[in-house]
Structures are given as C-alpha cells and as structure tokens.
Chain A
Amino acid sequence: MKNYIFSLLALFLLQGCGDYKDIVEMPEFKPISISVKGNITLEDIQEIEYLKVKLDNYNENIHREQEMDNLETALTDLLPGLYNITIDGKMTTKGGETFMLNGTLVNYPLVKNNEAITLEVKESHLGDLIFSEIYYAGSPKHYFRDQFYEIYNNANTTIYLDGLYFANLTPGTATNKLPQWPQEDEDNYCYAERVWRFPGSGTDYPLKAGESCVVSQFAANHQLSQYNPDAPIDCSTAEFEFNMNNPKFPDQPAKDMEHVFYNGLGVLGRVPQYLTSIFGGAYVIFKVPDGELYDPVNNTALQTKDLASSKTTLYAKIPINYVLDAVECGHNETKISAKRVPGLLDSGMTWVGNTYNKLAVARKVKSSRADGTPIYQDTNNSTDDFERGVTPLFRRNGEKMPSWNHSLN
C-alpha cells in the first residue's frame, strides 16, 4: 500500500514538473513558410487554364489565395494552425472538354516551417442540382417545424427528381468527436442517419432549368396561430414534405417524400418528427447511377455502425460518387475543425451563428440566364458559396416554380 502511495506521489510530481518545465520554457509563436504542390495524374490534358491554392484557417479567420506557377507555389508568413488547403483549377482535354480541377486537405496542421505539401488534384464534378437555400435553425419559442431545403436546377437541361435521394449525415450536430468508420471503406462513402427518396415513376417531377423545389419538414403555413406566428416562413407552397404521420402535424397537400432508411430499417421510427439539428446538419442529395441498386435496408454491405461507439445504431453508406450536392452546416466557423463531410464534396461549412434565430443560409448568385433565373455559385466550398444569416424565403432570386406544384392546380 505504502509503495502505491509513493508511486502515485512520484507520478504526480513528475507529471506536474513536466508541465511546469514545458510552460516555463515555451518559445514564442512564430510565422512559418510552406510550399504547396498539385499532383495531377489525369491524362489527356490539353491546357490548364488556371490553378490556384487557397488556405483557410477559420479559427483565426485567415484566408489566403495564390495562383500556382507550374503546379507549385510558396506561401510565407503563415500563422501555425489548422488549415483547409484547396487547389482549384480549370482544364481542357485534347478532346476539347472542359473540367474543373479540385484537390482538398481538410483541417491539415500547418505547424512545420518549410514543409512541402502535395495535394492530389482530380477532376471535379460540379452539381447541376444543388441546394440553393437551407433553413434549419428554427424560430423563437423553440419552434423547429418550419425547417426547409430548397433544391435548384442550376443546369441548362431538365432534371427529373423522381427517384433521387435526400439524406442527412451523421453526426447530426457538428462535433470534434467524429465517428470511426470501417477502414475498408477508405474515403469512398459518406454516412447517413436517415435517407429519403423523391416520389415518382421517372418523369413525374421534372425540374426545368431555373426551377427550384422546396422540401419542408412540415409543409404548412407556420405563421398560423396554432403553429408559430413568429415563424419567418409559410411553407404551404412547398413541393415536398417529410410526413412522419404525426396527428398534431397532419399531412399537407405537398407530396410526401418516401422514407428509405433509419437505423437499419425502412420504417419511420418511434419519434414522429424529422428534425435535423438546429445547430446545422450536413445534407446530401444523391442519384443512384442507372443499372445500380441502392437498398441500404436489405443490403447490409451498405450499413455500418460507428466503430468508436458502443451504440448499435446503424447508418447508411452513400457512395461519394453518387452525390450530386452536399452542404455542411455547423454552429459557427469554429466548427470547421469538426467537419463530417469529405472535403471533395464540401471543403467548407456554413452557419447562422445561433439557434431559433429565424435565419437561413442561401447560395450566392454568380450570374443569371436570359430569362432572369439565377446561375448559382458552386465551388464545392459552402463557406464561400453561401450567404449566411439571411431571412428564409422561397425562390429569393427569381427561381421558377415547377408547373406541377400543388398550389398552381
């Protein structure tokens, strides 16, 4: 017993002295220099129009952008810290096709002076179908039924929503305690808590160029007295809703999204609401390629648990190459250190800064078509692509309503 006490005492003193010495002898913070190199393995390159590197340290609010010369550049006078490093570019193939280029490192620790960093740069598929507005924060007096997601056709051709999927990823709320996924998955999947599918048999819900549709948690007029007169939005004209068969919040004229997956099952679950985090979730829309079957309920290879947790909750795997658009939201910029969406899908994060504050995030307009509909910015970085803290509004930039919207009939 006595030996244990002395051992513990010695351990305590050694630990204490170690910390004391470290603190007392600590050197000063010093800026560092680094070099960044892009590694492009694509063949058939005719010309690289431009290539630039972007460094973002959201905790310190440091943002640097620099053109790359011959796939390489040096950056000096950088504060040590965690950075998102992104290479963006544009190239033309010998066949005349134009592709965007993208390489991303998320939360990379830049702490060594003169470190040489190499990023794999790949061709990037920018989405034709994108989230144009997301309202997740809720409104005063703890009302959250007014959440909605607006999805926009940014392309020049009609896209059919039938059979496309919507999912929110896990962890529902941004946290630094990230799940542990199976090693064999490598970086080929993102992981969903709940998956929904758009209804339709293939051509029922066309979304023409410049049109948008809204998917509401509950597609009612929330400003009615029985809901929340303080709500910022009337969702009764939404095209779709997540109907959870709750008698208090009955089925509305909007089409119901089809429930696909929750905790390994196809049923809705016990809690009669589909609430995504009011702090901000991570959302994806995805399309299963023709000829492939996506059934995460019956195909256990598309299910996994969080290996770092003792909980038995099952999550649905979504192959990254299925994803049309992904947006990650969090409490504020400091939560970028807790990113749960792979950088290839969204290298940033957007936020409204608080809960129940009646504010949304809306995508920035890059240009507009001849008919006045917007062309939205989509650089795979929601920090840059979204306006933060806007009052929720459907079709704020002149987007058109699809002809099959129930309110038009």
Chain B
Amino acid sequence: MKLFSKNKKHLFLSVACSFSCLCLSAQVDSYAALELQQELSFWKQGANPAGAWLDNPLTFSDIAFNMDYENGNFHRPMEGKSIRTIGLKTEGVVLLKKHYLKGFFNYTNRNVNEEGYNTSFIDPYRGMPYGVVDLNHSDWKNQYYDMGVRWAYPGLLHKWNVGIDLNYHAHSAAKQRDVRADIRYMMLEVRPGITWSIKENHHIGAYLNYYSTKEEANNMNVNNYVSQEYYELNGLGNAVQGIGTGRTTNYTGDNFGAGIDYSWTKGSSELLISSAYNLKAEKAEASFSLPRKVGSVRHAIWDNHLKFYTRSSGNFGHLIKLDYIYSEIKGVEYITQRDNTQEQSGWQTIYAGVRSKYKKQNMGINYSLIAHRKGEYKWLAKMAISYLTLADVYLIPASEKKIDNWVAKATFKRNIMFSGASTPRLLLSAEAIVNKNSAGSYIYSGEHPTYITVTEIEQGDYNYLESDYWGVNLVANYSQSIQAESNLRWYISGYFNYLKTDNLDFNNRKKMGVTVGCIF
C-alpha cells in the first residue's frame, strides 16, 4: 500500500526542503554560536510552537551532509552488528514580518549489517511488543524521510501568541534474507499551541498534541522450498512458534496529548517549566484481507522538564536542567477465533485484556558552565547525572525484567578562535561517560523457556541493559565564513564515540562520522 502517493510526496519534500533552505540573513557568527543559541532557546526546544517568539529567534539556515559508521558487539540483540549511515539534514528559520516560520527536512539512508531476529519493525525497540522474529540475522536497507514546519504568530490582543507544528515522517525498511520483511512507516503530527503573557516577564503556554502512526510489515519468503521458523512475540519472551513465511502485520496508532509551560525571565535569567502528558493507543492486526487482532498497547508518557539559565557578572553563564520522564506501556492480548459458519464474518475477538506492563522512569540533572565570548562561547563544561529504571512485567504467568542504571557524563568544549577575516573556529569537545548498573533481574516463568525469544532476545537484551560500561566521545568541528563579511559559513566536523563494557558477553561499540555543512 502506498503511504503517500509518489507525486504528492515529492511535492511535499520539495516544498519542505526549499522552505528550510530559503532563509536568508543569517545572524550566527560561528557554529558554537548556533549551538549556544539553540541550547538557550528554551521554548524552541520545547513542544509548544507558540513559544517561538518568546526566545528572540534568529533567522538561519543549516544544511549538512553526514556519513556515519558504527560497529562492535556491544548492542541490543535486535540492532545491527554494524551500521553505515548517510544523511542530509536541513533546518531553517525565517521571520516574515510577524510570522515565525521554521522548517526542517532530513533524509537518512542506513545500511544495517547482520541485524538479529526482527522481521516486523523499522525500530524494534519503539515500544510495541507484538512483532515477529525469526532465526536469520540479516542485512537491512532502511530509508528515513523526516520533515516538518512550525508557524508562530505573536501579539494577538497584545498578550497572546499562537502557533502550530506540522510534522511528517515516512520511513521504509527491507530485510534482505528470508523471512523477508518489507516495512513502511508513517507518522503525521499536528500540534497547535498558545501562550499568554501574564506580565512582560511571565508567560504561560498550553498546547495539544495529536499524531497518527501506521507501520505495515509484510513478510514473505523468496525461497519457497524452505519454510522458516518464526515466533510471534507477546512480550518478555512469551511467544508462539510458527513455520512458514511470517505474517503481514498492520500497526495503527493514535496519540492524544497536552502540555503546559511556564516561563519567567528577569535580566539575563530565564526559567522554563514544562509538563506534558501523552496517551497513545496502537493496535496490531495480522492480515489485511481478514484482519485478526494480535495485540495492542496503551502507552502513557508524562514528560517534565525544568530549565534555568542565568548569567553572572562577568562572562559566565550557568545552565541547569532537571528532567523527569515517566513512561508506561500496557500490552493488551486478544483471544480470537475464526468464524467458519455460513456468515464467514472473519476473526472474532472473544476475549481481551492487559497482560503485560512496561514501565520506564528517567530522572536527570544537568549543569553547564558557559564562558561566553560575544554571541558564542569560549568554553563550556557540563556535568550530567541521570537515573534510569525499567520495570517490565508479564502478568500471567508472571515474568519480569527490571533494570536500575546510573549514568554520569562530563563534557568539556573549547571553541578556539583563529585570526583571519573569514573568522575561522575550531570547536573541540571531549565527553566521558560512565554507566553503573545498581540492580536488575530477568525472571522468565512462562512456557517454552528454551525458545530463542527467551534465551537470546530477552536474556540478551537484559545482559546489554545491565552492563556497566564507560565511554568517550570526541568531536572536532572546524568552521569559517566562505569569505570576509559573508553570511555563508561552512563547517566540517568529525566525531569518534567509543563504549567499552566490563560484561564478558560483550566487548565494545564504536561509532564515528563526519559531517560537512553550511550555515547561512
């Protein structure tokens, strides 16, 4: 099924791409300046589109082409052994009188090598437990189109700002070995928002969020002489074994959500508190011709953030962020029976109920000390600590997977300024990360404990999640104007990321990449 007719899709891509590159009069002096501006634009980082004008927005365009490569055996069971990525990213903001317009368009092409088990999802860890897995590790070819626009208009009745976000994502993936998978995913999101200025330095905002998702996974065998062994997952290792070609699964979901924000500014200090609640319902049905409900999820996310920035006398700024995210997925299973009477009314659901729960909480605190230099920064030091807890349970028969992890990060960035009319800059960044597991367990009490869904997929995932590890992330970014006084600034950056675990089941994961782009 076509998710979007080809012509319309190309038209939409062209418009989004053109728009995101159509922004002139760049106001950023360096890559560090753009990064800092993004970091301190609290409303822009948030979900409320109406807050765009409260950030003193800059106009800019950023176009970048990136290539990345990662490999190493420290990864989750349904992730690739190695991944090659190329991508094009564009983003732009333009202010047309009182109209704030932002657009972005990203294209990513991923060649995944030896991804394990998964035959149903482009992202097997997206929070939908009802998929199909098989025994054949396979290469995947994935493509991602992500695009969106934000419009905001200020000063209605002097105190009201309004805005809206429209985002569209279209992804596709193809598994290269039997059981083959041809998967299409799309998401369409609408987010209208409003802010009200209580006083000049007090603002509150609210927004609604709706998105619709659809993922369609078609399984087939090219070699029809060999029937493949596959498993239909029910969560935490519980599965039903099948032989043949897998199945066609159609995932459709709707999310309704709302959020509120409050911001306060005084002098060079700013505070933003935001909270959002989203509730998504997504169902999985097998077959299009005669749909059979195989499962559904109720996914609630409560998202809370506090950001505070102040600039002390001198050139130092202090940025503090507090985050708390609570996510709970309830997995619903269906008992179905095919109606083989004269009416032939297809699959009948004769019972349904919540049979598994997946709870995740993430608390984090993050402090940055910023040494400013005009519109950019000279150096930046950041410390972050977060606590992640997972508590997944299968109700009957009872099974559980629990993880408690502490993560600490320390980052130092140095923005070196060279002399020259083209204002060259070298931005160096070094980050150290330590992950410490404080508790965890995986106890499976269901049937067929020797299935790979238990012994390799869930146990392997638990082994990954409970691993202590350390890592470093090194980034170098060189940028300069194309010529003196030019608004066009090009940059090239490279990074190397290395994670090393003490867990004897794994070794390490390395990721590296290079990005070439320009800001104007």
What residues of chain A have their CB less than 8 Å away from a CB belonging to chain B?
A: 16, 19-20, 22-24, 26-31, 59-61, 79-82, 107, 109, 111, 142, 176-180, 183, 279, 307-308, 331-334, 337, 353-356
What separation, in Å, do the CA atoms of A31 and B330 have in the docked complex?
Answer: 18
Residues of B within 8 A of A179 (CB): 340
A136 to B: closest C-beta gap in Å: 13
Structural contact, B344 and A82, CB atoms closer than 8 A? no
Name which residue of chain B comes closest to A351, CB basis. B243
What separation, in Å, do the CA atoms of A29 and B395 have in the docked complex?
Answer: 8
Structural contact, A80 and B296, CB atoms closer than 8 A? no
A79 to B: closest C-beta gap in Å: 6
What separation, in Å, do the CA atoms of A79 and B226 have in the docked complex?
Answer: 35
Return 14 A-B CB contacts under 8 Å, by A number. A20-B254, A23-B283, A23-B296, A26-B296, A27-B353, A60-B447, A82-B337, A111-B351, A142-B225, A180-B340, A183-B342, A308-B344, A331-B244, A355-B226
Structural contact, B340 and A111, CB atoms closer than 8 A? no
Structural contact, B340 and A331, CB atoms closer than 8 A? no
Q: A29-B355, A177-B338 are in contact. Are A331 and B243 (CB under 8 A)?
A: yes
B137 to A: closest C-beta gap in Å: 19
Whether, in the assembled complex, B443 has its beta carbon less than 8 Å from a beta carbon of chain A, the answer is no
B290 to A: closest C-beta gap in Å: 8
Residues of B within 8 A of A107 (CB): 337
Whether, in the assembled complex, B240 has its beta carbon less than 8 Å from a beta carbon of chain A, the answer is yes
Q: A30-B353, A109-B350, A180-B340 are in contact. Are A24 and B298 (CB under 8 A)?
A: yes
Task: Select which of A16, A80, A355 is within 8 A of B335 by beta carbon.
Answer: A80
Whether, in the assembled complex, B227 has its beta carbon less than 8 Å from a beta carbon of chain A, the answer is yes
Task: Select which of A60, A332, A337 is within 8 A of B242 by beta carbon.
Answer: A332
What separation, in Å, do the CA atoms of A23 and B332 have in the docked complex?
Answer: 7
B286 to A: closest C-beta gap in Å: 11
Task: Select which of A29, A177, A307 is within 8 A of B333 by beta carbon.
Answer: A29
Task: Select which of B229, B256, B332 is within 8 A of A354 by beta carbon.
Answer: B229
Residues of B within 8 A of A29 (CB): 333, 353-355, 395-396
Structural contact, B281 and A23, CB atoms closer than 8 A? yes
Residues of A within 8 A of B353 (CB): 26-30, 80
Which of A24, A80, A333 gathers most chain B CB within 10 Å? A24
What separation, in Å, do the CA atoms of A31 and B351 have in the docked complex?
Answer: 12
Residues of B within 8 A of A22 (CB): 352
What separation, in Å, do the CA atoms of A334 and B336 have in the docked complex?
Answer: 13
Residues of A within 8 A of B448 (CB): 61
What separation, in Å, do the CA atoms of A176 and B297 have in the docked complex?
Answer: 25
**The 8 nearest A-B residue pairs measured at CB:** A29-B353, A23-B281, A61-B447, A111-B351, A178-B340, A20-B281, A142-B225, A176-B338
What separation, in Å, do the CA atoms of A28 and B353 have in the docked complex?
Answer: 5
Residues of B within 8 A of A331 (CB): 242-244
Structural contact, B335 and A82, CB atoms closer than 8 A? yes
What separation, in Å, do the CA atoms of A60 and B342 have in the docked complex?
Answer: 29
Whether, in the assembled complex, B279 has its beta carbon less than 8 Å from a beta carbon of chain A, the answer is yes
Structural contact, B243 and A26, CB atoms closer than 8 A? no
What separation, in Å, do the CA atoms of A29 and B238 have in the docked complex?
Answer: 15
Residues of A within 8 A of B340 (CB): 177-180, 308
Structural contact, A111 and B335, CB atoms closer than 8 A? yes
What separation, in Å, do the CA atoms of A117 and B351 have in the docked complex?
Answer: 18
Whether, in the assembled complex, B111 has its beta carbon less than 8 Å from a beta carbon of chain A, the answer is no
Name which residue of chain A comes closest to B295, CB basis. A23
Structural contact, B330 and A332, CB atoms closer than 8 A? no
Name which residue of chain A comes closest to B224, CB basis. A142
Residues of A within 8 A of B352 (CB): 22, 26
Structural contact, B351 and A109, CB atoms closer than 8 A? yes
Q: A24-B281, A82-B337 are in contact. Are A354 and B227 (CB under 8 A)?
A: yes
Count A-B contacts at CB 8 Å: 104
Residues of A within 8 A of B229 (CB): 353-354
Residues of A within 8 A of B242 (CB): 331-332, 334
What separation, in Å, do the CA atoms of A159 and B242 have in the docked complex?
Answer: 40
What residues of chain B have their CB less than 8 Å away from a CB belonging to chain A?
A: 225-227, 229, 240-244, 254, 256, 279, 281-283, 290, 296-298, 330, 332-333, 335, 337-338, 340-342, 344, 350-355, 395-396, 447-448
Residues of B within 8 A of A109 (CB): 335, 337, 350-351
Structural contact, A355 and B337, CB atoms closer than 8 A? no
Task: Select which of A23, A82, A355 is within 8 A of B227 by beta carbon.
Answer: A355
What separation, in Å, do the CA atoms of A26 and B333 have in the docked complex?
Answer: 10
Residues of A within 8 A of B256 (CB): 20
Structural contact, A334 and B351, CB atoms closer than 8 A? no
Residues of B within 8 A of A79 (CB): 396
Name which residue of chain B comes closest to A112, CB basis. B351
Name which residue of chain B comes closest to A353, CB basis. B243
Task: Select which of A24, A80, A355 is within 8 A of B351 by beta carbon.
Answer: A80
What separation, in Å, do the CA atoms of A258 and B113 have in the docked complex?
Answer: 55
Q: A26-B352, A29-B354, A109-B337 are in contact. Are A19 and B281 (CB under 8 A)?
A: yes
Structural contact, B350 and A180, CB atoms closer than 8 A? no
What separation, in Å, do the CA atoms of A111 and B334 have in the docked complex?
Answer: 11
What separation, in Å, do the CA atoms of A392 and B395 have in the docked complex?
Answer: 41
Structural contact, B350 and A111, CB atoms closer than 8 A? yes
Name which residue of chain B comes closest to A141, CB basis. B225
What separation, in Å, do the CA atoms of A180 and B240 have in the docked complex?
Answer: 27
Name which residue of chain B comes closest to A178, CB basis. B340
What separation, in Å, do the CA atoms of A23 and B297 have in the docked complex?
Answer: 7
What separation, in Å, do the CA atoms of A129 and B482 have in the docked complex?
Answer: 92
What separation, in Å, do the CA atoms of A178 and B337 have in the docked complex?
Answer: 12
What separation, in Å, do the CA atoms of A23 and B352 have in the docked complex?
Answer: 9
Name which residue of chain B comes closest to A27, CB basis. B353
What separation, in Å, do the CA atoms of A354 and B241 have in the docked complex?
Answer: 11
Structural contact, A27 and B354, CB atoms closer than 8 A? yes
Structural contact, A26 and B350, CB atoms closer than 8 A? no
Residues of A within 8 A of B342 (CB): 180, 183, 307
Name which residue of chain B comes closest to A173, CB basis. B244
Residues of A within 8 A of B298 (CB): 23-24, 26
A264 to B: closest C-beta gap in Å: 23
Known: A334-B240, A353-B229. 11 other contacts (CB 8 A): A20-B254, A24-B279, A79-B396, A177-B290, A177-B338, A178-B338, A308-B340, A331-B244, A337-B338, A353-B243, A355-B226
Structural contact, B281 and A334, CB atoms closer than 8 A? no
Residues of B within 8 A of A20 (CB): 254, 256, 281
Name which residue of chain B comes closest to A175, CB basis. B338
B452 to A: closest C-beta gap in Å: 14
Residues of B within 8 A of A353 (CB): 229, 241, 243
B392 to A: closest C-beta gap in Å: 15
